[in-house]
Amino acid sequence: MQSGNTLTRTVLALVAVLLIGAAGFSYVSSIRSPQFAVIQALNSLALGGLLFLLASGFSLIFGLMRLANLTHGAFFMLGAYIGANILRSYDGVNLWFAMIGAGIAVAVFGGLLERFVLRQLSSNSLGQVLVTLGMSFIVADACLMIWGGDPIPVPTPAAFQSPLRVAGFMFPTYRLVVVLCAVAAAIGLYLLLERTRLGAMIRAGVDDMQMARAVGIPVSKLFTAVFMLGAGIAGAAGVLGGPIMSAYPGLDADMLPLALIVVILGGVGSLIGAFVGSFIIGFIYTFGTALLPDLAYVILFLPMIVVIAFRPQGLFGRMSA
Amino acid sequence: MTIETTSSATPAVEAKSSTLRIAFYAVMGVVLLVLPMFSGDFYINLASQILIAAIFALSLNLLVGYGGLSSLGHASFLGLAAYFAAWFFTRGGVDHVSAAVIAILATSVVAGLFGLISLRASGLGFLMITLALSQVLWGVAFRWAAVTNGDNGLSGMTRPMPFGIDLNGAANFYWFALIIFGVSFILMAIFTESAFGSALRGTRDQPRRMAALGFDVWMIRWITFVYAGFWGGVSGLLYVYYHKYIHPTSLSITTSAEGLLSVIAGGSGTLGGPVVGSILVVMLKNYASAYIERWNMLLGFVFLFIVLVMPEGLVPGTKRLFNRFKGGAK
């Protein structure tokens, strides 16, 4: 999956992210205050991290199964609600346990969806998209029915409540934790794809499905596994994002478009693309909201248009969607 | 995706079926025209909503059914035209005709730009890009409160008075919508039956062969995209006249999904399909919301049902049964 070309582009893209970030950072710190800029930068990174957790699963599923899973935003929201519910119902349960619980629950749900519904429609990609769209409506409405219309806050773990003080600046600790989790997940996913037998099978499936089948890779089981993996990560990410965003109706509709833009930007099926794209969008969206609250969404057009104009397959994509 | 084949039919049968078709449309036309004389305001308004939804679905069908381009962002054009018209009329201080012209022109221009972006891809990529673009517009409508009034929506829109006829009555508005529907139906039918329409179907089924034959596949798709955006805008104009109000939900994925469901449920790539689908969706929405508040969930289940049980849609399915019956009787 890796080549020298990819490495160059990775470095270039990361430099671009850093430059965009630095420019936004210095501009914001000059017009507002350095402390405000630090907070916004951390918010950008945290949003980028959450977007990566969402977009990487979406991208993996797309790459392997040629399936645009529009339920992915709903997985994120479902995870957030389940996590909030676990934390609310059981005293003394910590966030990590809730994350694992919600991740497993959403993964099982995703596995059932893949096995019993999407499987019926293999070779009908439009039908699959429509089913995932329908499922996203059903899940969103079910969440509204079960948990009501008011946002459910997810408490920040006590250990991360007080900000870190470094060099006279305050760093909200939990944002840092989110970023670390996302980076850890990125490394974990990379190792899974590049260094394990399962990862080799997934890569084979992405590259040439027919051939993978022919050499005896259990592609059908692989589909379920990858779908569950993507769903589980999205569900866990919902809980991880909980202390920042809380669980509210419409969370899915807020997150899915951002994840889609990340995938369009980074290129479908590319882990590194999802990583770079997430942080670009995280920065643009957060600084856009801070500086021009009215037009934050308009600014999202720009990276999309630029990338699609020059590289329709995305920064790191090799296949056309 | 069915391809109409009449080649096996003899000319006599063909002539007979075209007479039948003309008779069918004539009867439908008369029924639609006199409908307000036999029903109460509730049903007349329901019929107006169906006509508006049908124009929307027909325009989306140009892309989905005839072009093989599944757009999940068609609500952009409905919502944009409605917002433009409402904004220019209530805030911009221009009259109805100018507001309508501005709205349709601006929507067509945006359709041209969106086409430039989204037609860089096809298939699922096209679907994702159209969805992302329309979600961005939805976000703008929500957030840019200084212009769009955010979550409160733009109110204060009135219905126009063409030739001095007051459209505030249910029946008058229905006839107005019916005329627009008739014009749009005929113009879209001409579009699909023309040589250009054949070329469009060609790009759907065999894009590479069409390119090899010297057709500009991209240009054919782009023109179709703009044309579909134009009619989507027309439906948006009617939409805002009908409701006299516009809210960001009109730009949301639910609106796009309702349109797509109408197309798929009725049968994509047929002229009657989207109309039948719109009847189904609008009736479901109205009756369901009278009894339960879970329209989105019902919409989701209808999606699942149509895709899993009746993927070809209602109109082709019924047509197939009818043809089989005819074949059996002969």
What pLDDT, in 10s, does the model give residues B14-58?
A: 566 678 878 888 888 887 777 777 778 888 888 999 999 999 999
> Residue B222: pLDDT band by 50, 70, 90 thresholds?
very high
Q: What pLDDT shows up at residue B9?
A: 46
The three-state secondary structure class of A166 is: strand
Cα(B148)–Cα(A160) distance, integer angstroms: 39
Question: How many domains, chain B?
Answer: 1
Please indicate if any CB of chain B lies within 8 Å of the CB of A309: yes
Q: Which of B257, B301, B308 is facing A133, going by the closest CB pair?
A: B257
Higher pLDDT, A96 or B167: A96
Any domain includes B18: no
Any domain includes B90: yes
B-chain CB neighbours of A249 within 8 Å are none
Question: Quick one: tokens of A273?
Answer: 């693309």
Checking if the pLDDT of A159 tops 80, the result is no
Could you tell me which chain A residue has the CA closest to the CA of B304?
A131
CATH of domain A4-310: 1.10.3470
Q: What pLDDT shows up at residue A270?
A: 84
- From residue A154, alpha-carbon distances to A98, A246, A251, B300 in Å are 10, 5, 14, 28
Asked if B165 and A300 touch (Cβ cutoff 8 Å), the reply is no
Are B125 and A320 within 8 A, CB to CB? yes
Structural domain boundaries, residue B56 = 40-251
What pLDDT, in 10s, does the model give residues A48-103?
A: 999 999 999 999 898 888 888 999 999 999 999 999 999 888 877 788 999 999 99
Any domain includes B205: yes
Sign of CA dihedral A30, A31, A35, A39: negative
The contacts of residue A305 (CB under 8 Å, 6+ apart) are B117
Asked if A241 and A50 touch (Cβ cutoff 8 Å), the reply is yes
Please indicate if any CB of chain B lies within 8 Å of the CB of A129: yes
Any domain includes B60: yes
Asked if A77 and A140 touch (Cβ cutoff 8 Å), the reply is yes
Domain boundaries, chain A: 4-310
Asked if A245 and A251 touch (Cβ cutoff 8 Å), the reply is yes
Residue A154 is classified by DSSP as -
Please indicate if any CB of chain B lies within 8 Å of the CB of A292: no
B-chain CB neighbours of A296 within 8 Å are 139, 143
Checking if the pLDDT of B2 tops 50, the result is no
- From residue B200, alpha-carbon distances to A46, B69, B124 in Å are 45, 11, 19
- Continuous segment of H or E residues that includes residue A170: strand A169-171
The contacts of residue A301 (CB under 8 Å, 6+ apart) are B133, B136
Please indicate if any CB of chain B lies within 8 Å of the CB of A320: yes
B-chain CB neighbours of A120 within 8 Å are 308
pTM metric for this prediction: 0.87
Alpha carbon A76 to chain centroid, angstroms: 9
Alpha carbon A90 to chain centroid, angstroms: 27
Any domain includes B304: no
Q: What pLDDT shows up at residue B5?
A: 44
Q: Which of residues 44-103 of A touch B (CB under 8 A)?
A: 62, 66, 68, 70
B-chain CB neighbours of A135 within 8 Å are 300, 304
Question: Quick one: tokens of A138?
Answer: 């059903």
Are B131 and A295 within 8 A, CB to CB? no
- Continuous segment of H or E residues that includes residue B154: strand B154-155
Higher pLDDT, A179 or A209: A179
What pLDDT, in 10s, does the model give residues A216-275?
A: 888 888 989 999 999 999 999 999 998 988 889 989 988 998 998 899 888 888 888 899
Average pLDDT of chain B is: 85
> Residue A321: pLDDT band by 50, 70, 90 thresholds?
very low
